C-alpha cells in the first residue's frame, strides 16, 4: 500500500461558483461535487483567470453527501470549490485510473460531512500500489447511445415554483428495522447512496407505490423510485401524475443542487422541502413542460437506457 500522494499529484481545483459563471454550451465542462454525470453540471465560458485541468485527470469531491465520488474526466474542465484534482505522477491507463476511483469511493466510510474532513487527510489515504490483473479485462467501450447530442437548455423559458405547488408531499409510514422480515421489496432509507436502498424486506403492510421521488431527512438526497418500496424513518415522497422516470431524474437533479442548504445538522424535513423553490422549464402557457424534461433526459448519453 502507498499513500495517495505518492501516486498522484493533488491539486485543490478551480474553486469557482457555478451560479456566477456564464453558461456556454460550447465552453468548458464545470465539475461540481455532484455524483451524477461524472460530476459535470454544465458548460461555462472559459476565462483567462480560470484554472483549467486536463482531460484524463481525476476529480474528487471533498464534502457534502458525495464524499470521494471520484471520476476520470473525459474533457478539459474547471471545478467548483471543495473538488480536488488528481494527476498520476507516472503514466497510467484510463482503466487504471478508474481502479483508483473505485478505491477512493470505498474509503468514504472513513469520513463524514460533520467529522473528519477529507481535504485534510486525502493525501494520506492508503491505496494499492499495484493494479490487480482482473482490471485489465474490463471493457470501457462506450455503447452507441453514449454519442447522443443533448438538447440545448434554454434558461429563458424557465419559471420558479415551490415544491408544494408541483407535488403532493407526504411523510411515509416507516418500518422499524427491528420488525423487518425477509423479502424482496426495496427498503428505502435516509441513506445518500445506492438510490436510498438499504436492503430488501417483506413487510407488505408498509409498501408505498413507486413512480415517485423520495428524500430522506438526514441523507438529504432526492432519488426516483420506479418500484414499490418499504420506507425507513423520515423518508418523504413527492408525487405528481405526470411524473415518469425521465422527468423525475431531471427534477431530482435540480433538487439535489439544494443539498448544501442543509449542511451542519439541518435535516431536510418535509415542511422545509415544501417551501423549497426550484426553476423548471415551462411551455407557452407558462405551465411546467414535463414533456421537454423527458425528452432532454432521453437525449443525454445513455439516457434511453434508464
Beta bridge partners of 30: 42, 78
Asked whether residue 251 carries a pLDDT value surpassing 70, the answer given is yes
Let me know if the fold of 2-141 is the same as that of 155-305. yes
Fold of 2-141: Adenine-n6-DNA-methyltransferase TaqI; Chain A, domain 2 (3.90.220)
**Phi and psi torsions of 268, nearest 5°:** -90, 75
Grid coordinates representing 5?
A: 500522494
Cβ neighbour number for residue 117 with a 10 Å cutoff: 15
- Please state, in angstroms and as integers, the Cα–Cα distance from residue 291 to each residue in 158, 246, 247, following that order: 14, 9, 8
Q: What's the full length of the chain, in residues?
A: 306
Q: Which of 68, 37, 64 is nearest to 268 (CA)?
A: 64
CB contact at 8 A, 115 and 78: no
Give the rounded percent of residues in the chain with a pLDDT score beyond 90: 62
Residue 151: predicted pLDDT: 77
pLDDT in tens, 207-247: 999 999 999 998 889 999 999 999 999 999 999 999 999 99
State pLDDT tens for residues 24-38. Answer: 989 999 999 877 788
State how far the Cα of 40 lies from the Cα of 32, in Å rounded to an integer.
Answer: 6
Q: How far is the C-alpha of 193 from the C-alpha of 278, rounded, in Å?
A: 23
Show Cβ contacts of residue 174 under 8 Å, excluding neighbours closer than 6 positions: 206, 231, 232, 233, 234, 235
Residue-range domain boundaries for the chain: 2-141, 155-305
Q: Can you give the three-state secondary structure of the chain, one letter per residue?
A: CEEHHHHEEEECCCCECHHHCCEEEEEEEEECCCCCHHHEEEEECCCCCCCCECCCCEEEECCHHHCCCCEECCCCEEEECCEEEEEECCCCCHHHHHHHHHHHHHCHHHCCCCCCCHHHHHHHCEECCCCCHHHHHCCCCCCHHHHCCCCCCCHHHEEEEEHHHHCEEEECCCCCHHHCCEEEEEEECCCCCHHHEEEEECCHHHCECCCEEEEECCCCCEEEECCCEEECCCEEEEECCCCCHHHHHHHHHHHHHHHHHHCCCCCCCHHHHHHCEEEEEECCCCCECHHHHHHHHHHCCCHHHC
Residue with cell 473538488: 83
Query: Average pLDDT of 56-81?
Result: 85
How far is C-alpha 87 from the geometric centre of its chain's CA atoms? 23
Best CATH choice for the domain 155-305 from the list 1.10.10.60, 3.40.190.10, 3.90.220.20, 3.20.20.80: 3.90.220.20
pLDDT of 113 reads 45
Q: pLDDT tens-digit profile of 102-159?
A: 888 877 666 654 455 676 788 888 888 888 887 887 766 655 555 556 777 888 889 9
Q: State the pTM of this model.
A: 0.57
Amino acid at each position: 500500500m502507498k499513500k495517495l500522494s505518492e501516486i498522484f499529484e493533488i491539486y485543490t481545483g478551480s474553486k469557482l461558483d457555478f451560479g456566477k459563471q456564464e453558461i456556454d454550451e460550447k465552453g468548458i465542462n464545470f465539475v461540481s461535487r455532484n455524483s451524477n454525470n461524472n460530476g459535470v453540471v454544465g458548460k461555462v465560458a472559459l476565462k483567462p483567470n480560470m484554472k483549467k485541468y486536463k482531460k484524463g485527470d481525476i476529480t474528487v469531491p471533498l464534502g457534502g453527501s458525495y464524499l470521494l465520488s471520484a471520476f476520470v474526466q473525459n474533457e478539459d474542465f474547471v471545478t467548483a470549490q471543495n473538488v480536488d484534482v488528481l494527476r498520476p505522477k507516472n503514466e497510467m491507463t484510463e482503466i487504471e485510473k478508474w481502479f483508483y476511483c473505485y478505491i477512493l469511493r470505498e474509503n468514504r466510510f472513513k469520513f463524514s460531512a460533520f467529522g473528519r474532513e477529507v481535504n485534510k487527510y486525502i493525501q494520506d489515504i492508503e491505496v494499492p500500489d499495484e493494479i490487480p490483473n482482473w482490471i485489465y479485462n474490463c471493457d470501457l467501450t462506450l455503447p452507441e447511445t453514449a454519442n447522443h447530442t443533448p438538447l440545448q437548455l434554454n434558461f429563458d423559458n424557465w419559471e420558479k415554483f415551490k415544491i408544494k405547488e408541483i407535488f403532493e408531499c407526504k411523510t411515509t409510514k416507516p418500518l422499524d428495522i427491528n420488525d423487518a422480515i425477509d423479502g424482496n421489496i426495496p427498503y428505502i432509507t435516509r441513506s445518500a447512496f445506492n438510490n436510498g436502498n438499504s436492503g430488501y424486506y417483506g413487510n407488505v403492510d408498509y409498501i408505498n407505490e413507486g413512480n415517485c421521488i423520495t428524500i430522506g431527512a438526514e441523507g438529504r438526497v432526492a432519488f426516483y423510485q420506479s418500484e414499490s418500496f418499504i420506507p425507513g424513518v423520515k423518508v418523504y415522497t413527492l408525487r405528481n401524475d405526470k411524473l415518469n422516470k425521465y422527468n423525475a431524474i431531471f427534477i431530482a437533479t435540480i433538487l439535489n443542487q439544494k443539498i448544501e442548504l442543509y449542511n451542519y445538522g439541518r435535516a431536510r424535513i418535509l415542511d422545509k422541502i415544501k417551501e423549497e423553490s426550484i426553476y423548471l422549464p415551462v411551455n407557452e402557457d407558462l405551465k411546467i413542460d414535463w414533456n421537454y424534461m423527458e425528452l432532454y433526459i432521453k437525449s443525454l448519453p445513455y439516457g434511453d437506457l434508464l
